[in-house]
Amino acid sequence: MSRLNPQHIKSLTVLKNEAALAIYGARAAAGAILIQTKGKFNPYPDYTLTPDEIPANLFTLYEQHKFGGERTVQYLLNGKKRKLRHLQKMNTEKIQYIRVYTAGMKAAQLGYSGGSVVVNVITK
């Protein structure tokens, strides 16, 4: 929440008691706040890999170690969907950083199904 710019908020809805429980179950026993943002909202990544942290065989490692666990991994190159085999051919020296979104809610905000992990490769 601290990283959300108030100017990007379109509306806030407060759900209390039964309304929150009906939608979100026991985890919302104290209530829930729904925030609708204006336009496309880019959530803060769960972690970012900098050039110093990117090994030459990065995408081969991700494939071998099942980067997403049992979840689907969506690979993006500068925000556009790409197949892993395309990224495996990349020279990792051209990568500025990699943003990784592991939370299902963040993947959904980026337009992918809730069980996905999203890996966005940003080039120099």
> CA 43 to CA 87: how far, in whole Å?
23
Q: Is residue 1 part of a domain?
A: no
Do 88 and 28 share a domain, yes or no? no
pLDDT digits (tens, 9 = 90+) for 43-63: 788 889 888 888 777 777 666
Quote the domain boundaries for residue 33. 6-37
Would you write out the chain's pLDDT as a tens digit for each of its 124 residues? 666 677 777 888 888 888 777 777 777 778 888 777 776 666 788 889 888 888 777 777 666 555 566 778 888 999 899 998 888 888 888 899 999 888 777 777 777 766 688 889 999 9
Q: Is residue 53 part of a domain?
A: yes
Residue that the structure tokens 């990007």 belong to: 8
How far out from the chain centre does Cα 102 lie? 6
Do 25 and 55 share a domain, yes or no? no
Indicate the DSSP class of residue 6: G
Q: Is residue 59 part of a domain?
A: yes
Do 31 and 52 share a domain, yes or no? no
> CA 29 to CA 37: how far, in whole Å?
24
Judged on CB neighbours under 10 Å (0-12, 13-18, 19+), 59 is buried
Do 63 and 83 share a domain, yes or no? yes
Dihedral over alpha carbons 73, 78, 83, 85 (to 10 degrees): -110
The count of domains in the chain is: 2
Do 55 and 31 share a domain, yes or no? no
